[in-house]
Amino acid sequence: MILIARKTLDANFASTKELLDMATTERIIPATIADDGSAHYASVMSKPDDSTAVCYMVPNRVIPVIFVPGVMGSNLIAIKGINKGSPVWLVNGGAGAAKAWLWRGPETRKQKLDPKTTDVYEGGDIPSGTAQSVAELRRRGWGAVAKMSYGTFLPFLENALNDAHECKAGFRAGLMKELVAEAPGVSVLSHDEVALSYKYYMPVHAVGYNWLQSNSDSAKHLAAKIKEFTDYYKKQNKLCEKVIIVTHSMGGLVARYYSEVDGHRDKVLGIVHGVMPTTGSATAYKRVTTGSEGSAGRVLGPDNSTMTPVFAQSPGPLQLLPAVEYGMGWLKLRNGKEQTSLPVTDPYSEVYLQRGQWWSLVNDKLINPMDPAKKNIDADWDAYTSLINDDVQPFHEAMRGKFHRATYAFYGNDEKHKTWGDVVWESKLNPVLKWTDSYAKVDHLENGQVLQDSGTGSQSLLQRSGRDPINMQYNLMPPSENGDGTVPIRSGRAPTGQSGVQACVAYPGVDHEGAYKNRPQHYFALWAVTRIVSNVKGTVLEYK
């Protein structure tokens, strides 16, 4: 039997004399890694034989890995009103979220999902499968993010980054032999990169945020949580000065704002982005005007009457709209060979703030379902206008072309996950009115009086052809661009070639919500985090 001198587990390890007093043998094994990277040793008590004693130590230098989730990926709690103290958005599993929001009406959604009356809820379920206690993982923020979306990824990353017991056969070692993708900027990890990463303790944390609020506010919340985490390790006499950030979807915008706009770049060794809507997504327009699609739509909001009240009061989701750098002409009004494409130069004034048009992003009558007489409709529209002018456009402009100098990203590019890169309203024959001409000429496609709006993608209009009124029907067309079902490739691949971006990889088979549920994306994140560790060179974390 081998007895290890446990006293050496303390960072202030015992002196050589103390160790000799504790043991009666000359047999020694590595016990800890000192600040200079050298090994210190502990004596063990046993008679000479062929057995091997192993003592695994936690490095004294800490690089917290911070996961930042996507929109709707953080749990929320009410801090005001009749629901005060109760979770209002809790995503432990699909059934739970569905039960809470299935068939909820516009009034309930507007009242409960209000950025001014909600905050992050950290009491969500903690994923199992790690060596850490529930209390420790809750301290690290795991209870603030959606277990449904990240319940497999977080344990994988925690285990893969803290596997000293199998360093020669772990996932990092495997990435010295196998590529995570065939793409520019991607190569196998070197032995030195992997070896260096094992000299640091990399505990995985999660920072949930109030996704209803502006992403600039969420960036400040991220800053406070990162300080909280790093201070925790410093109080344990650990060296902890830098972090690595891993993001999902809108969390990438939060992290980029924190790093590149709010001035925290030097606290970050690197950032890994997954399915980030880099320049926005036209899917945001689609879901506000016609509701969310699929089985999840009944939970998120199945039509424009349930989506608009929340969206029109929430800067975070509004900031997912296409920015100028997304490109122009993505909103198309089509009647046969006739077509009007918007925006021409400015999406904010030409699309988002257009009031009363049949193709408007926000129907002013749907903003406030608690005002059936629409006595305050002008004030409601003014409040929405302020969000676009004060929160959305400035945020987009501040973020344009800015990436951390060590950025690694992946996105979905799959024809099985068609996405709205363009949104097309296309006319069709109205069978009720028995119009016989397939495509009657319409004077101005953008003009028209709404006769009926299904709220799910079909509108009947009164338009004009010459001097004559004409009844037309328009349907919103299915998505046609490859992507992940939410972010089209034009936005997902936008980091490519930008300053600081080391790799931007396209993957097939990536579903937006479940982007971190599959092994290829697990490996990509682990590969990127391991490579980013090399950026400790020249910092206080470097071993001299």
Type and span of the H or E element at 520: helix 519-532
* In the block, residue with structure tokens 């050298």: 38
SS3 112: helix
Global pTM? 0.89
- Do 409 and 274 contact (CB within 8 A), yes or no? yes
Among 299, 283, 210, 282, smallest CA distance to 251 is for 210
- Domains of the chain with bracketed CATH: 3-45 (no CATH), 65-72+150-274+406-419+484-536 (3.40.50.1820)
Please give the structure tokens belonging to residue 431. 């069978």
Three-state SS for 293-319 is CCCCHHHHCCCHHHHHHHHCCCHHHHC
* In the block, residue with structure tokens 């010295």: 176
Q: What is the rounded CA–CA span in Å between residue 155 and residue 245?
A: 16
List CB contacts of 134: < 8 A, sequence separation 6 or more.
126
Q: What is the rounded CA–CA span in Å between residue 59 and residue 56?
A: 9
Q: Strands of 302-367 (E only): list them.
A: 331-335, 338-342
Q: What is the rounded CA–CA span in Å between residue 33 and residue 8?
A: 11
pLDDT of the chain, 544 residues: tens digit per residue: 333 333 333 333 333 333 333 333 333 344 445 555 555 444 445 566 676 666 656 789 999 999 999 999 999 999 998 889 999 999 997 666 667 787 789 999 999 999 999 999 999 999 999 999 999 999 999 999 999 999 999 999 999 999 998 888 999 999 999 999 999 999 999 999 999 999 999 999 999 999 999 999 999 999 999 999 999 999 999 999 999 999 999 999 999 999 999 999 999 999 999 999 999 999 999 999 999 986 666 777 899 999 999 999 999 999 999 999 999 999 999 999 999 999 999 999 999 999 999 999 999 999 999 999 999 999 999 999 999 999 999 999 999 999 999 999 999 999 999 999 999 999 985 544 444 445 678 999 999 999 999 999 999 999 999 889 999 999 999 999 999 999 999 999 999 999 999 999 999 999 999 999 999 999 999 999 999 999 999 999 999 8
CA dihedral of 42, 47, 50, 56, whole degrees rounded to 10: -20
Task: Tell me what pLDDT residue 55 has.
Answer: 60
Task: Tell me what pLDDT residue 544 has.
Answer: 85
Please give the structure tokens belonging to residue 399. 């973020």
Q: What is the rounded CA–CA span in Å between residue 141 and residue 69?
A: 11
* In the block, residue with structure tokens 């070692």: 173
Query: Tell me, what DSSP letter sits at residue 48?
Result: S
Q: Strands of 382-524 (E only): list them.
A: 407-412, 414-419, 423-428, 449-453, 458-465, 468-476, 481-483, 501-507
Q: What is the rounded CA–CA span in Å between residue 290 and residue 474?
A: 12
CA distances from 326 to 238, 330, 331 (A): 44, 9, 12
Task: Tell me what pLDDT residue 130 has.
Answer: 97
Task: Tell me what pLDDT residue 101 has.
Answer: 81
